[in-house]
Amino acid sequence: MKFVFSISLVAALFLCIQVRAHATAEDLPTDVRTIVEKADALYRSDASSAKIEMTIVTPNWERTLNMDVWTEGMDKTFIVINSPAKEKGIATLRIESEMWNYFPRINKVMKVPPSMMMGQWMGSDFTNDDLVKESTLLDDYVGELFIPDDANPDYYYIRLTPKEMTVTVWGKIELVVQKETYLPVQQVYYDEKGNKMRIMDFKDVKDLGGKRIPSLLEMTPLGREKEGHSTLIRYLEVNFDEELPRDTFTLRNLQKKR
């Protein structure tokens, strides 16, 4: 949570990239889109549901959220927190580039304004923008294959740079994908000066919902002020191609008592 979270989160792997391949190795394909679409298909389907555990770690505290997540295609995500008790019932709805949060204690729905999109989602190292960008990064970035000095011959390396009109805090994003399985391995975010800002690692490959996917995603922010911080997302259950109720992705369902 795409979980977009891609969930999936996870979010930024769900890209449809304008191809501009510059790699020279003979064993590298020239179609970047093919690589990313295959990785994308691992977590997405026409409709899906999942049970997810998110653990937020800081030097001073640690907490775990248990959530149910539903998705439809690339444009819709619905998240409900089940525990702990303090956050139980908090829900998030995303429809294309718009996003709303529901807080049951005050019985209020709040639309997330553009100025808050880079804010942390539930105090994690994932931002509100991560949730909505899974459908728009495809159009906002240009992709090219490249070969780093320490390249592993078993991996594809893809560099994404924002198009001229794209509004983003990232100067570039680098994806690492396993050649044989097209499983994502790592995603690295850089600022406009070329400094590494955060890394997302994909771990613990398992069979879930009839697919073999990384069941653990670990986001690690970089920088002295972020030392000791990380967020882990673990997929506990996944059901792909599930028929969902027609009102799943609605504001009415967002406020539903559970």
Question: What pLDDT, in 10s, does the model give residues 13-46?
Answer: 333 233 333 333 344 444 787 787 777 666 667 8
- Give the per-residue pLDDT at 6: 37
Can the peptide bond before residue 84 be classed as cis, meaning omega within 30 degrees of 0? Answer: yes
- Digit-coded pLDDT (tens) for 149-183: 999 999 999 998 988 887 788 899 999 999 998 89
pLDDT of 5 above 60:
no
CA-only gyration radius of the chain, Å: 18
CATH code assigned to 11-254: 2.50.20.10
Handedness of CA 36, 41, 43, 45 (dihedral sign): positive
pLDDT bracket for residue 132 (50, 70, 90)? low
| Contact between 43 and 6 (Cβ < 8 Å) | yes
pLDDT of 109 above 90:
yes
Question: From CA 94, how far away is CA 73, in angstroms rounded?
Answer: 12
Q: From start to end of the chain, where are the E strands?
A: 18-19, 47-57, 62-72, 76-83, 91-95, 98-103, 108-111, 141-145, 155-162, 172-178, 184-190, 196-208, 211-221, 230-240
Q: What residue has token string 């893809």?
A: 158
Helices (H) and strands (E) in the chain, counts: 4, 14
As a whole number, mean pLDDT of residues 94-105 equals 92
- Give the per-residue pLDDT at 23: 37
- Give the per-residue pLDDT at 34: 79
- Give the per-residue pLDDT at 129: 76
